């Protein structure tokens, strides 16, 4: 079931590209694309600026004259890499949270197209901002958990053999929490915060598959940070609507 859901979630990206063209959803790409460029520029600037400072701290831990130049160079590289990794984590979740008002309508249109039923949109500004606060709550929670899990695994990744498992763990948890954020653009219309967490736990494969492609797409030069979120949102909506309009919604509500 887990691996089947991963494969299904990955193939949803190909369906998403077709659906974006069919429903002419390109106009919804603009704001997330601009947010992605701005946030990406800020984070990469921080990574470049602070790499030397962190490198100095790391190299200062080496108290020996032997290989001091090598350790200094390696520390600078590691410092930049650590800031970059943290920056990517912050970037993903901040982008998803700030883009909630623009991605939720995309998710609504996809669900209405699939089900033929009108979705319930926010009826007041209070509900509208409530969506943003919910998205912030979920993404900040996911960010904290990702950081707490990723950095110990990052240290373990330098240990031979064990490093392979640690690296796989990093990709797994990054994909899971990223996919969680994308799925919630749909889940927020049907489930409360606790029910959404239960849904994602039950369907880990969907979250992992969606988040895996999302993370890989970010590394597409320039365009990755502009187009990834809208495409991932459409793909995650296809996955979650299929589950929600089955027995899952009724079971979660009855519990």
Full DSSP string of 202-247: HTHHHHHHHHHHHHHHTTSTTTHHHHHHHHHHHHHHHHHHHHIIII
Among 41, 17, 15, smallest CA distance to 29 is for 17
Q: Report whether 232 contacts 213 (CB < 8 A).
A: yes
Q: Domain map of the chain by residue range?
A: 2-37+100-254
- Is residue 126's pLDDT more than 60? no
The rounded distance, in Å, linking the Cα atoms of 178 and 211 is 5
For position 61, what pLDDT does the model report? 63
Above 90 in pLDDT, residue 181? yes
Per-residue pLDDT, 247: 55
With CA atoms as reference, report the closest residue to 74 among 63, 64, 86, 62: 62
Tokens in use for 108?
Answer: 């609504």
User: From the CA atom positions of the chain, what is the Rg in Å?
Assistant: 20
Of 133 and 129, the structure prediction assigns the larger pLDDT to 133
Pick the closest to residue 215 from 184, 177, 241 (CA basis). Answer: 177
Which range, 36-45, 47-56, 68-77, is most confident?
36-45
What is the tens place of the pLDDT at every residue in 6-39?
999 999 999 999 999 999 888 888 888 898 888 8
CA angle 212, 135, 219 (to 5 degrees): 30
Contact in structure between 182 and 199 (CB atoms under 8 Å): no
% of the chain surpassing 70 pLDDT: 81
d(CA 141, CA 178): 11
Average pLDDT score, the chain: 83
3-state secondary structure 45-68: HHHHHHHHHHHHHHHHCCCCCCCH
Q: Check if the beta carbon of residue 228 is closer than 8 Å to that of residue 40.
A: no
Question: Cα separation of 159 and 142, whole Å?
Answer: 26
Tens-digit pLDDT profile for residues 186-205: 998 888 889 999 999 999 99
pTM: 0.83
């Amino acid at each position: 079931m887990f691996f089947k859901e991963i494969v299904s979630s990955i193939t949803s990206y190909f369906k998403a590209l077709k659906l974006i063209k069919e429903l002419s959803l390109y106009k919804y790409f603009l704001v997330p694309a601009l947010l992605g460029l701005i946030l990406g520029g800020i984070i990469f600037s921080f990574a470049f600026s602070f790499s030397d400072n962190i490198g100095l701290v790391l190299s200062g831990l080496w108290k020996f004259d032997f290989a001091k130049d090598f350790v200094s160079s390696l520390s600078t590289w590691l410092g930049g890499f650590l800031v970059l990794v943290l920056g990517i984590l912050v970037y993903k979740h901040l982008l998803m949270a700030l883009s909630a008002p623009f991605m939720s309508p995309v998710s609504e249109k996809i669900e209405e197209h699939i089900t033929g039923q009108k979705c319930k949109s926010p009826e007041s500004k209070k509900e509208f901002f409530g969506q943003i606060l919910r998205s912030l709550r979920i993404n900040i929670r996911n960010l904290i958990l990702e950081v707490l899990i990723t950095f110990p695994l990052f240290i373990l990744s330098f240990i031979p053999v064990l490093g392979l498992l640690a690296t796989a763990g990093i990709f797994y948890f990054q994909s899971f929490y990223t996919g969680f954020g994308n799925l919630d653009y749909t889940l927020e219309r049907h489930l409360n915060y606790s029910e959404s967490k239960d849904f994602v736990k039950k369907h880990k494969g969907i979250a992992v598959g969606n988040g895996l492609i999302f993370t890989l797409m970010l590394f597409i030069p320039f365009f990755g940070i502009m187009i990834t979120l809208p495409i991932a949102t459409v793909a995650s909506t296809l996955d979650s609507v299929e589950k929600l309009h089955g027995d899952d919604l009724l079971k979660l509500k009855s519990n």
